[in-house]
Structure 1
């Protein structure tokens, strides 16, 4: 998951540098007034999103498999805890009835 996040951040930073260069060379228009930094960041975000979607497809699939495995493990742990609690409750009730 961390690898995917870092790769996505790298693509964004690369796009940010390219967009910054294009804006300051005059190829892409500047933002209005003092919004130039925000304009560059938003444009880089819009460009990097589809690039990340296509380029990082395999890495995204790996990350989602890891998340799914973690969720399955957590569910199994919760079910095991619940069954242990049920067993302890049944024993306590049996001892209470026997007394």
Structure 2
């Protein structure tokens, strides 16, 4: 496994979290300044988090396309290795029995 795909899932997750945190900070500042509605009553924190999620999801989808592809390749490679090991173990059991 190459080093570029060895930690693809961890890298993708960290980048996705970073985009969300960035959106959260921006939305919180905009809500504090009054550009974005603050929500109703005490719902401000929940409103800010939900708005940040809604904004960060499409951004992550577009910005992390290559990283998502690397993560997919890593997962497919791992599943293929597991299938190969399972097949080898089953054939060993069949030859012993």
**TM above 0.5:** yes
Q: Give unpaired runs (5+ residues) of structure 2.
A: 1-8
Select the structure that is richer in helix: 1
Q: Distance in 1 between matches of 2:80 and 2:43?
A: 46
C-alpha distance after superposition, 1:67-89 (max 9, x if no partner)? 00000000000000000000111
The residue aligned with 2:5 is none
Q: Distance in 1 between matches of 2:94 and 2:59?
A: 51
Q: Which has the higher contact order (CA 8 A, sep 6+)?
A: 2
Total equivalences in the alignment: 89
C-alpha distance after superposition, 1:12-48 (max 9, x if no partner)? 0000000000000000001111111000000000000
Which has the higher Rg, Structure 1 or Structure 2?
Answer: 1
Q: Secondary structure at the match of 2:67?
A: helix
Q: Give unpaired runs (5+ residues) of structure 1.
A: 90-99
Moved over 6 A (4+): none
- Give TM-score scaled by structure 2 length: 0.91
- Give TM-score scaled by structure 1 length: 0.89
RMSD value, Cα:
0.4
Aligned residue among 40, 44, 61 for 2:69: 61
Q: Distance in 1 between matches of 2:77 and 2:16?
A: 22
